[in-house]
Structure 1
């Protein structure tokens, strides 16, 4: 019987952009050898579960099951389905579009629509923001996959989904009705449904990863390989139970 589930963020914990964090693959191997469970929990809604499985294999040399991957895109689809939405304007990439389609909701590019869901979109343009904002102003239910301001890449950080959410909210005249990803309730419940035994959350971003652990009542481990590089960048109210330089430092802890 599994005694612990390790909930791992991906960007900034396992990899930065297309570069692996040293020791990440070895840590995953050690967890599996110990008989513990793994969940890969990311606010990145841009890619599908299959893409993340392939990335883990390519960068880390480890096998991951799609059922072990929870993205804010998957949770967004579940949230929209629970609301009974029949159509949604999706401002996001293939992972978000696929997750919405997979729960039987029609994806549209212009209104009218029952809902708008916004995530990271590297090809976003003025016209698409305009269409999303028009649906919001017309009363469409407004869901953000996540509101991360940035995401870590080698050498720095790029604008995250939160920048696009903010544009739609500004033009639409109101904030999102709900947020699917970490640390909000939909993601907390998604983790709770899948986890077994004690839960340890490993992440780099205090306001999402460490806050997720706080919201779920779980143990937290912070790493300094992502958006936070120094301990003094972590707000005291989100201080992790354990802080390490990188996930490699946890190999002997499992």
Structure 2
């Protein structure tokens, strides 16, 4: 019996090996390379090469130079995550409790945008928000926008694109939490409290918090690092940190600065995620 238990224990470790090798090859090594790149001598170039001088000053320099797009990315990501939470919670609640036999179809419609390219979906928003498009013309007709008002190349367009593209990442975890909830608890709470608002915050919201935490993380993290929406829907004043990193890597060939910015962004997001998860108390919810 003891021998069987030991074999099962070894089998568990053997099953971890493929995933561990995958993480080692495609995460640990690239992450080490990125950190090393961020510490190269900033005076190097593609022609002269780069020397490892442990130039920690690269981090200070990029923060001083690019703190605005860094904070802008956090702000846009937070706003888009909030909108995704509000819209996604309503949609997930409707699918979980009100859709009936149409539940599967509605879930398919939620993930249907993934059947097309991320780039195509963003370009479609560029067409919708164009200066001569139906939306802008209608808003101008209703005097919501002035005659020279526009939506494209504005922060609104960037946040709208982020919200649209990452909304499914919020809906699916929320639906998973709400769908396994016993609806009789909600009915009982309404009998006890008699107020739908109180019932929601006392019963529905606490029970759905695992989905809320998962959805906000899955939405916020990629939204902060995104550069496609800001590139296609924004302007030079709405550049996000992803645009800066991409430009430093591909246009300026300033690899130390791009690497330092990437490490700073990952470190900031990791710290925020750890604080958020700890504050949300997911250890008790899961």
Give 1 or 2 for the bigger CA radius of gyration.
2
- TM category (shorter chain) comes to under 0.3
Q: As a proportion of its length, which structure holds more strand?
A: 1
Q: As a proportion of its length, which structure holds more helix?
A: 2
TM-score (norm 2): 0.23
Q: Relative contact order (C-alpha < 8 Å, sep 6+): which is higher?
A: 2
TM-score (norm 1): 0.25
